[in-house]
Structure 1
Amino acid sequence: MTANHVDTVLNALHSPDTAGLSAVKASWIRSALYHGLDPATKGQRERVSEGRLSELRDAHAPFLSAARTTLDEISVLVSRSGCGVALTSAEGIVLESRVAASDRDLFSSSGLVEGGQWSEALEGTNGIGTCLQEARPLIIHKGQHFYQRNIGISCIDAPIFDPHGRLVGAIDVTSCRADHGPAMIEMIGGLVREAARRVERAYFCQHFVGSRVIFLDEASIGTELLAVDADDLVIGASRAARIRLEITDQMIARPQPAVQLIGSDQSLSFDDSQQRVIRQALAKAGGNATKAARQLGVSRATFYRRMRHGRSCQ
């Protein structure tokens, strides 16, 4: 099987129309021609030092904090079937992993350990590295790997983007089980994609804590989120929101009203702002107009007059 795999890869490399037939084979070509790798390589897998891993974890502390609950939960779902879970940096370095004690030796021998390096440049076509290279969810099942030494595993991955829309890492579920066929792997793929979205949402809300977060939609590329300040000016946008609304870093640096970016046909006015303040004061006062007026520092008569004026303008 090993010889057949190497032959398959080499044949794909020499086929003139291979790149257009399969994304996996296109990655094989990148692995060989761009990264200069040999599918028959049997050398030891790369790992960063403990010191370097510690530095990376410190640098990614907010990311790890936002992801740990999701990592724990997805691990509970897949570990009983012999799968391991990993969270990586954008460079494909495993920052944290979740593996059952009974499977630890198996995953260690496969290089799927904390500090393991799984960039496409080092390991060729693989779930983590190719997912990060292409910035999209994907599955690399057994013989789709570039290196012959990796054809015993199946990798299910999804990229994760930080609160500024930049690629920060990936979540990976890997199976070393021979009895996990494509159907099982596809089912796990749905869990992985949802896990990546949950981490992105948690990371976004954690980063913009204290700001109001607006949920726009759940798109195929992620959750569309906006963070707005007290004046409803957009101070942050998730990658999905940036793509759909064409929001740039320059637009975030010079905040614009949320209604303008969302494309609402409602125009802003002082009356709108005033009525928003009145409604908030009433809600805080439990509907008691006298208490709400006191909170705003105006008389009850003024409060009612401004409230009536707002209604007449609607």
Structure 2
Amino acid sequence: MTPPSRPLFFQTAEQRTALARQRFFEEGERPTGLVNEAVIQSWMRCTAARRNAQDPIGFDPVTRSRMHASLMRNRQLLQAGNEELQQLATALSGTNCRVLLTDAQGVVIHASAPLGSVAQPLMQVASRVGVNLAESEIGTTAPGIVARAAIACTVNGAEHYHAMLQHLHCAAAPIRDVHGCLAGVLDVSIEGAPFGFDAAALVGLYASTIENRLLRMQSPAHLVLQFQANPKVLDTPLEGLAGVDIAGRLAWLNPVARRLTGADAALLPEAAEVFGVPLDTLLALHRESVPRALRLPNGLTVWVRAHLGQGDGVDFNRAVAAAQPAEAAPAPAAPVDAPPAAATLDNHRDRVIAETVAACGGNIARAARQLGVSRGLLYRRLRAHAAGSAPPPADV
């Protein structure tokens, strides 16, 4: 008797997932095309680690010392996400979802209060600060996959490796730092019913917002460029961001910036090459109140704004504003054998300091007040810049 043939098509995602589990767990086949490839990879890692899909999960927290260490180490991430985590919880207040933020290893460092009135016994124990959601601890979940592979992922129902987690649905996205490394994972989870909205898009939007804020917080000594092909989306999660270091190289790019420029920050390209204008032109953008249109070397026109943070305690925006009246004065002639100064943020800072001191008639105390720094810091900067030349002007 001929065995019944397998149906070629399945109408629902639940049916496709059930077939994928049958092929993978019972028949030892790779269920390519039935579930997300990231889920299949996670199943394979769990199997290789000899995890039993029928074993219960305890959602055990890490040790108290590790939890405190993670909270201290991720203070900046929590600060960057504080407003967005509250806004996301508000947006989900009419659902039964929970908002979780984990560190790069999958340990929960923020969990929202219960949203809705439906009982969620699994989420009740999973949504606690200190619980380890890493794949090595609880198998296939969205935050576990993101912590392992640093890619956005959604895991629904029976896509979870362990049978007891098949009532959960979760969507997670990575948050990266200025070094391009995973800084944390933002997750939205619900127990019982599936999401009634596009959870992946919502999580991706908020993760991008937190990441952009974290990048700015980690760039006090960088020239930060905001740009997009449409100026109306600046100051939104859709904007491109780039950090330029004191040597004039791109220290980092957010994902939008990489797509717009085609550049790779890991190669530390010159900002002038990527944006098609000299560094001095990019530096001057922070004085302009409206974005400027720039045509990139790849032919795309983008609208750009620039911001200078604080380097060595000098607020560049205030310093440049204070130095404006002195710009009309002729600059002293450089020695004939002196090499031209490199156009870097470091030179820009020293030039601003020198011009402000000159505008104050050599009065260090007055110049320090205008720059918003201490006299001691100003003396140290002048001595470092002089490098063996005449001593700095006396405090009149």
Using the size of structure 1 for normalisation, the TM-score is 0.72
Question: Which residue matches 2:131?
Answer: 116
1:114-160 per-residue CA deviation (whole Å, 9 max, x = no partner) reads: 11111112211111101222322121111110111111111111111
Change (3 A) 1:55 1:279: closer
Name which structure has the greater RCO, CA cutoff 8 Å, separation 6+: 1
1:48 & 1:280 partners in 2: Cα distance? 48
User: Is 2:261 the counterpart of 1:247?
Assistant: no
Change (3 A) 1:279 1:113: closer
Amino acid at match of 1:209: P
TM-align CA RMSD: 3.6
Question: Which residue matches 2:159?
Answer: 144
User: Residue 29 of structure 1 is aligned with which of 44, 51, 55?
Assistant: 44
Change (3 A) 1:277 1:111: closer
User: Is 2:113 the counterpart of 1:99?
Assistant: yes
Whether the 8 Å CA contact 2:157–2:165 is kept in 1: the answer is yes
Whether the 8 Å CA contact 1:163–1:200 is kept in 2: the answer is no
Question: Which residue matches 2:103?
Answer: 89
User: Is 2:143 the counterpart of 1:128?
Assistant: yes
User: Is 2:65 the counterpart of 1:54?
Assistant: no
Using the size of structure 2 for normalisation, the TM-score is 0.59
Is there any run of 5+ residues in structure 2 with no aligned partner, and where? Answer: 1-16, 230-236, 291-321, 331-396
User: Residue 172 of structure 1 is aligned with which of 175, 183, 187?
Assistant: 187
Q: Which has the higher helix share?
A: 1
Whether the 8 Å CA contact 1:20–1:26 is kept in 2: the answer is no
Whether the 8 Å CA contact 1:62–1:203 is kept in 2: the answer is yes
Amino acid at match of 1:57: L
Percent identical pairs in the alignment equals 19
Q: How far is 1:207 from its partner?
A: 1.1
Whether the 8 Å CA contact 2:43–2:140 is kept in 1: the answer is yes
User: Is 2:88 the counterpart of 1:74?
Assistant: yes
Question: Which residue matches 1:228?
Answer: 244
SS at match of 1:245: coil
1:80 & 1:278 partners in 2: Cα distance? 43
Question: Which residue matches 1:303?
Answer: none
Is there any run of 5+ residues in structure 1 with no aligned partner, and where? Answer: 284-290, 300-314
- Number of aligned residues: 269
Whether the 8 Å CA contact 1:165–1:242 is kept in 2: the answer is no
Whether the 8 Å CA contact 2:57–2:138 is kept in 1: the answer is no
Amino acid at match of 2:135: E
Larger Rg: 2
Question: Which residue matches 1:9?
Answer: 21
Q: How far is 1:277 from its partner?
A: 6.5
